[in-house]
Structure 1
């Protein structure tokens, strides 16, 4: 089956959906309301499942070339003691790839570059979706109306289209935490590619990028809307006594580089990822906390699965039913696991509970920890002919 599609949202998930649909013969237009993503000054980790999806979309090799594998690192306490070590080589042997780190700006650039000229419309916001009647779906914007056989709602955690399609759903909720993050101005001599440090009610982590700079993030319990006049000074006061290289990472960061986002998630799962001839994808369908680093990877899985479904199905209702049946259980299970990981990380503040968690992590054998990671990373794309992905 072939047709025309309008993708609402030009982030990672929306661009991936456009690439996937084009690869199975669809004509696609992407609408992006912003000139640049508000997280373009950050970086992202991609696991094997996300990379495998990018391979299916034709950009996996380019993304790998612009990334850095995360082979050495792990989780520590604020005084520097190790709770768990990460063995990227073992992960690579198990699923074919280590986790890799890449700047979000570069990932967006590579995805955009794979689209033909004119397929991405910047500064265009979708305001309405009308799918009444037998004709095409009509996407109304401020200055134009676009017709399509299929609309993909990839407009993020605060999705306008989700609110129109599922008005009874409560929408995203604040997690009670915020993430502050930035990329250092210069390379740093760091021992490993990845570290995560869990304190009581706070978290600090970093990944190393191909040019030697690092992206760091700090998660703090904060009421939504909280902002600091001097974010770096605030972070130095909170994390300045934590182990190296955390103070050095903050010292290598320019004040204007710090991004501050309140964390939100779809705590109430959606009843469906497809409403009529509209497919919900990425954060619009399953916005999750960042604790497993799976938000973008799940959006990439969505894109590949949607493309396979429309390529194999005899009609659009069958394709979207298939997409929903395959993607919703997995994505919502990953979202639940991410929420639980957050409760064990920055969400844990009681000293006795923190001590118990730390003791349990030190005693846990490496095998079960690796298997827990593989549950999310070991994903296979849908097979030709409409068969489902291999269960992870």
Structure 2
């Protein structure tokens, strides 16, 4: 079986490693001239960690990750709103570049071919990708992992809505010092602004700074306007002063993507191309990687790609859109709440998150992982033959 993938991001490389593990020939097209991941840090919840285990990348990833024991959420006066989001599951934070390199290594170990300077401009339902150079790449299964503004998705007419959430954030890496938390993450709200202090490696701390699109000063993150953020969060002066004036980070808007289907014929969508969401719950990448592994499980355990794609979508879509919805609501509560009613917001959040049922509803994706394992194509074919003969 041959697989063609558009996009060498987190979702695309996870899919590549998963299908490579199954014994498929896999080629990944990356539009850029170099393979790299932008951004700073990332949360890896239980579902994301299980996806990494499935493709053989877990040990490398966690070798430079921070195991989180307490993720704090605090309100505008510094008091704790929530510190029990884990609910006895694993949670790590890690630098995005390290995660990316680990996924790249896993894909290469499985013999995946990765082609740079190969922008994909479209696809057809028969599993063919087309590049800007006019070349066509037919496959048994084509995958669009080409992000929020996916050319694969749009060429297939699958997009329903691409929504600018009027919310966004900047991601920054700073040198880690003794002022930073250990085995803890801190997120704090003040008005429509949110700050996160997240240790993500032995020598780096990840800082996120979120604010609504109409917060002009808050959006000044490249070059970095430290003074306005120190005014909102003086207790984090140490971390904010370590963000360089000419930081690599920048404020970027959050989007939701809504599609009619996750696939058309034998071309499927994974990651942001199918269900881009705000990163407010730390689940966007975890869901993307989980769905990429789920796709490989479905395809390699079925005699029919058509049936596999249908069952894959039925098994994963409700969960993915639920996370997207909760993340959108979380962002509105944290960003759009009236300034004169912040105490009421704190009281509401405390009341809701004190409930185990509510915690489970918000963090349900961490508990969801597809049943079954990635099967080698040759082994799956032998099992199918035995079943047919029987």
Same fold (TM over 0.5): yes
2:105 pairs with 1:107: no
Contact persistence 2:17–2:112 (CA under 8 A): no
* SS in structure 2 at match of 1:56: helix
Alignment match of 1:176 (pick from 158, 166, 170): 166
SS of residue paired to 2:338 = coil
- Structure 2: runs of 5 or more not aligned: 376-390
1:5 aligns with 2:12: no
TM-score by length of 2: 0.87
- Structure 1 contact 157–264 (Cα < 8 Å) conserved: no
Distance 2:104 2:319 in 1: 27
The 5-angstrom pairing of residues 370-385 of structure 1 reads: 370-384=359-373
Deviation, 1:178, is: 2.1
Work out the CA distance in 2 between the residues paired with 1:377 and 1:279.
Answer: 23
* 1:130-188 Cα deviation digits (max 9, x unpaired): 346xxx62533416432211110000011111111126x34422111221120013434
| Counterpart Cα distance in 2 of 1:377 and 1:79 | 30
Structure 2 contact 14–107 (Cα < 8 Å) conserved: no
Map 1:286-301 → 2, pairs under 5 A:
286-301=275-290
TM-score (normalizing by structure 1): 0.86
* Partners of 2:29 and 2:120 within 8 A in 1: yes
CA distances 1:37-65 after superposition (whole Å, capped 9, x unpaired):
78524111110110011111111122122
Q: Does 1:330 align with 2:319?
A: yes
- Where do 1:185-200 residues align within 5 Å? 185-192=175-182, 193-200=184-191
* Aligned match for 1:166, one of 157, 165, 175: 157
Query: CA RMSD of the aligned region, Å?
Result: 2.6
Q: Deviations over 1:81-136 (max 9, x none)?
A: 22222475xx3xx33x1x2111111011011111236611122101232346xxx6
8 Å Cα contact 2:140/2:266 also seen in 1? yes
Deviation at 1:241, TM superposition (A): 4.4
8 Å contact from structure 1 (residues 265, 289) kept in 2: yes
| Residue pair 1:207, 1:215 contacting (<8 A) in 2 also | yes
Pairing partner for 1:137 from 128, 141, 146 = 128
Q: How far is 1:305 from its partner?
A: 0.7
Q: Does the aligned pair in 2 maintain the 1:33–1:125 contact within 8 Å?
A: yes
> CA 1:297–1:230 in structure 2 vs 1: closer, same or farther (change >3 Å)?
closer
C-alpha separation between the residues in 2 aligned to 1:138 and 1:83?
Answer: 48
Out of 248, 255, 258, the residue aligned to residue 265 of structure 1 is 255
* Count of residues in Structure 1 that have an aligned counterpart in Structure 2: 370
Query: Which residue of 114, 117, 137 maps to 1:120?
Result: 114
Deviations 1:328-374 (A, max 9, x none): 1111111111111111112323422x221201333453634543454
| More moved, 246-255 vs 182-191 | 182-191
Gaps of 5+ in 1: 387-392
User: Are 1:289 and 1:335, in contact at CA under 8 Å, matched by a contact in 2?
Assistant: yes
2:81 to 80, 83, 93: 83
Deviation at 1:69, TM superposition (A): 1.1
Distance 1:110 1:20 in 2: 13
SS in 2 for 1:260: coil
- SS across alignment from 1:120: strand
Distance 2:143 2:172 in 1: 31
Q: Partner residue of 2:302?
A: 313
Q: Deviations over 1:291-313 (max 9, x none)?
A: 11110011111111100111111
Structure 2 Cα separation of the partners of residues 8 and 208 of structure 1: 32
Aligned partners of 1:53 and 1:189: how far apart in 2? 33
Q: Which residue of 1 aligns with 2:72?
A: 74
- Equivalent position SS for 1:181: strand
Q: Secondary structure at the match of 2:335?
A: coil
Tell whether the 8 Å contact from 1:272 to 1:328 is kept in structure 2 after alignment.
Answer: no
- Contact 1:163–1:171 (Cα < 8 Å) also in 2: no
Report SS of the residue matched to 1:272: coil
* Corresponding residue for residue 150 of structure 1: 141
* d(CA) in 2 for partners of 1:224, 1:171: 25
Question: Aligned in 2, Cα 1:102/1:87: closer, same or farther, shift over 3 Å?
Answer: same
Counterpart CA distance in 2 for 1:64 and 1:5 is: 28
Measured after TM superposition, the shift of residue 378 of structure 1 is 0.7
